[in-house]
Structure 1
Amino acid sequence: LKDIYRGSFLRNLDRIFFYKGKHFLTEEDFKDSEKSEKFDTAEYAKLLGTLQLEKALDCLDVYVDNAISRHSLGEMELKTLVQNAWYRMISILEDEGLNADDLSYLKRDCLVKIYACPYAEDFKRLFHVMEADFRSLVRKYKIDSQSDIIKNILGYIDKHYNEQLTLSSLAKQFNFSYSYLSSYFRSHSAEGFSEYLNKVRIFHAAELLRKGTSAISDVCGAVGYMDQSYFTRVFKKSVGITPREYRRKYRR
């Protein structure tokens, strides 16, 4: 009896979490548990870092629903995972300047209500309520990696990449201060202004090299670069080979 207690009984004790209303369980009841893949914390962090918050919520939602339906995580393991995920999202929302009052109840629920849920059914219900609250805040404050402002900025760069664009000229175009636009661009785009502009220019340069016969110096000027040696360095860094090598390899 002692061996059974120390073995399968203790090992499956927290699985009672999944059997609300069932007072008598046998070892057979626990054989339907499936081993769960680990939650992809790296992908979740990436989505948070690029402000793709609703996608991050989708990612967590799918994982939690699967873990509960398959009984693949123990009670404390599941609760701790969700609490940590919520806290990371709250931290992002704080960085975005959300009203502290809007976040206080979420912090409280993370700390108290999650661990107070006695069964998976109750936990799942609370999880989806909190998830809806997070989504509501994201939409209320329009926190989006591709908000209208950044969409307009990126769209302008896409249309005017061949001009002498600078962060200063872009700030003037959109009536922002230089420092504000620099900070805004970094926080709402996966790359900085220079990186994005170079990416767009190199994309169009590669297209011209594949399809056209213009001299490389002309291609350089056509996509907005004044210095051919700089263009060559940027192109090679992005593509892995020089413009001349690229043309020989991919020209149609």
Structure 2
Amino acid sequence: MYTVLIAENEPWVLKGIVQMVKAAGAEFQVVGECSNGNEAWSLIQEVWPMLLITDIMMPELDGLSLIKRIAEHRIPMVSVIISGYDNFQYAQKAMSYGVSEYLLKPLEFEMLTEALNRSKDKLESLKDLNNYIVKFQCLLENSQGLPLDTIMQKQRQLIQSILRLQALNNNARVGLLNIMDNRMKNLLNEFGIEFSNVPKTKYGDDASILKYYMAMLEKWYLEYPGKIKSSMPDAIARSCRYIEENFKKNLSLTEMANLTNFSVSHFSMLFKEHTGSSFVSYVNRLRVDEAKQLLRTSTYAVSDIADIVGYASGPYFTRVFKAHTGVSPLEYRRRMGS
């Protein structure tokens, strides 16, 4: 399965691209939709898609700037740009940032399908790297509510497996470690958790690198829960109520930010600070809870339950469900005796 994030500020165009990707083949699964570059950047660091399809002209952060940021952070991802401009300089700059395809509007289904098929080899080569990042993110969020010693052990094993990549692919190892480092530093900074006293790593010294990452993770897991404030701003409380009433619909970060009159980045930070969860994780938890009830009390097929709780893709629903519960929906139903 190749996970796809789509960024396009024209709602009707966005809807059309989503439908085309779904029709292009079951191996392509849309895991996020957004209307501007800032929202796309936030979602990238939550769902870690393998493929980004983005318009070149968007508010707040345009497609080229988004691609450049992805390249600077060395995030393993295939990027496709869609543009209304047949401009050689745009295309040249996009290619310098590692863009795989530069497609012109109006976008035809055959054109997009051919681009997606041409991207398969690159996507296949990124699968293992993407799995490392997704697993790291799931452990950071601790959606299964694991004990601290268990989750720290799982993170230790993950980092050790990345360190062993040196003999096979040192560039991949360095890139993954940098992504993990940036992700932790951003989270710690967002919550005002001091980490300047964490010992620096020594380049090439695996023991030092492991010690550094475990110290950073320990800071996060020990201090993050205590940083969640008990008094929730009215706007965030209203957002939570709105999400709880509408989680089965296709909610977006931009929509929620607009409802609260915050920017996307400010809303994301406040929401996580006061709920203890990212927007995507919050919605997923509500959907998974509803899905668990349906698995226990109904005879609906898993694909039907995925649709009922708000997922357009059955395989993506299964992936999210397993990340939250540790088992697949079918296994959950079997264990519950339904």
Normalising by the smaller structure, the TM-score range is 0.3 to 0.5
TM-score for both structures, normalised by structure 1? 0.44
Which structure would you say has the larger Rg?
1
Higher strand proportion: 2
**TM-score, structure 2 as length reference:** 0.33
